[in-house]
Amino acid sequence: MADLDVTRADAVLIGGGIASATLAAMLTELEPSWNIVVLERLHTLGAESSDGWNNAGTGHSALCELNYTPQDVDGSVSPAKAISINEQFQVSRQFWAHLVENDRIGDPAEFIHTVPHMSFVHGVENADYLRRRHEALAANPLFDRMDFTTEHAQLAEWAPLVAEGRPVTETIAATRSPTAPTSTSAP
Ligand SMILES: Cc1cc2nc3c(=O)[nH]c(=O)nc-3n(C[C@H](O)[C@H](O)[C@H](O)COP(=O)(O)OP(=O)(O)OC[C@H]3O[C@@H](n4cnc5c(N)ncnc54)[C@H](O)[C@@H]3O)c2cc1C
């Protein structure tokens, strides 16, 4: 690093996290001849927020994050933000697929893993909210594999540890999306 001459760089990116990595990858696609310098103050890259064991690591596609579907004052649940977030994630997957197909990065199985996404709530009001959230989203192809239940037996199948010891008189609700939408080919 001592003899690094950043004055000869076409782009200098400060910080070696996912933001710089993504921008550098995009710039390289657009300007393959560019000399891109990434400056990182730590001993290694991706050790701050972008470390999967710190903050990053979960691709948000609004399948389970309730904050993307706030309830309006009239009780309606708008799908707009959730759809926008999911679409952004699909664009990310398309970009990663492009990088894989062009041998820029390795086996996607080593960096992306699809897992079922669940939301769980309890209480009458929350269960009603989740039902309306499901209704608002399920018509969209990005969310059409999302199932909804208020049944304890179904919850026990989906999430045994969450259901264990829970009184069957309790009002509960859950949604579960098994995997990513079928319309995309990335893992
Ligand atoms: C609590 C929390 C939970 C989150 N959960 C998720 C999640 O579930 N899913 C998800 O996708 N994202 C999540 N995020 C967001 C995600 O972690 C960040 O959006 C992403 O990691 C930011 O990447 P970055 O490259 O901007 O920052 P960082 O990964 O932090 O990289 C910045 C780098 O810049 C370096 N740096 C700083 N100053 C300088 C300097 N002056 N000179 C040189 N280098 C410098 C740092 O050392 C660091 O390596 C979460 C964030 C938080 C805080």
Assess whether the C-beta atom of 19 lies below 6 angstroms from ligand 1: yes
From 34, 57, 80, the end of a domain falls on: 57
Quick one: pLDDT at residue 180?
Answer: 56
Q: Which of 77, 58, 62 minimizes the C-alpha distance to 177?
A: 62
Q: Let me know: does 13 contact 24? Beta carbons within 8 Å.
A: yes
Assess whether the C-beta atom of 42 lies below 6 angstroms from ligand 1: yes
Domain count of the chain?
A: 2
Residues 136 and 46 in one domain: no
Quick one: pLDDT at residue 187?
Answer: 39
Q: Which domain holds residue 6?
A: 1-57
Residues 93 and 179 in one domain: yes
Q: Which residues of the chain have pLDDT under 70?
A: 1-6, 180-187
Which of 4, 55, 68, 92 is the best mutation target for the ligand 1 pocket, counting ligand atoms within 8 Å of the beta carbon and taking the most? 55
Distance of CA 38 to the CA centre of its chain: 25
Residues 48 and 68 in one domain: no
Quick one: pLDDT at residue 113?
Answer: 85
Residues 86 and 170 in one domain: yes
Residues 7 and 53 in one domain: yes
Residues 110 and 143 in one domain: yes
Residues 49 and 65 in one domain: no
Residues 91 and 53 in one domain: no
Assess whether the C-beta atom of 67 lies below 6 angstroms from ligand 1: no
Residues counted in the chain:
187
Residues 28 and 75 in one domain: no
Assess whether the C-beta atom of 65 lies below 6 angstroms from ligand 1: no
How far is residue 4's CA from residue 31's CA, in Å, rounded to a whole number? 21
* Tens digits of residue pLDDT in 79-128: 999 999 999 999 999 999 999 999 999 998 888 888 899 999 999 999 99
Residues 161 and 174 in one domain: yes
**Whose alpha carbon is nearest atom 53 of ligand 1?**
55
Which of 6, 18, 40, 49 is the best mutation target for the ligand 1 pocket, counting ligand atoms within 8 Å of the beta carbon and taking the most? 49
Quick one: pLDDT at residue 108?
Answer: 87
Quick one: pLDDT at residue 185?
Answer: 40
Quick one: pLDDT at residue 2?
Answer: 53
